[in-house]
Amino acid sequence: MTLSNGEPNFVGTMCSWNYVRYTCGCEKQSEFIQCEKWNGTIGKCKKLVKGGSKASSNYCPTHLIADGLGGTIWKIDPETNTAVGPSE
């Protein structure tokens, strides 16, 4: 089985990481999935492959501003990923 880009799909036959894609462009590892061989054990494949990815409507924590740090926090239009005005 191959992916749409022509690369082999090893998910299920090799241990893999799933990813989350944030609107800021960052991609972070999320759930780790063991292959059939290692499922239920403390083992893993020597080589890990990239599994599926899920799009998030949020920015990653690194690109967010904590409340009280000053500056203006803007609302972002999720459709266009552009600032539409300061939040209240």
Strands 16-21 and 49-55: parallel
pLDDT for 80 equals: 78
Q: Is residue 77 very low, low, confident or very high in pLDDT (cuts 50, 70, 90)?
A: confident
pLDDT for 82 equals: 75
Read off the pLDDT of residues 40-69 as tens digits, 9 standing for 90 and up: 999 999 998 888 889 998 889 888 887 777
Q: Is residue 83 very low, low, confident or very high in pLDDT (cuts 50, 70, 90)?
A: confident
CB atoms within 10 A of CB 16: 22
> Rounded to two decimals, what is the model's pTM?
0.58
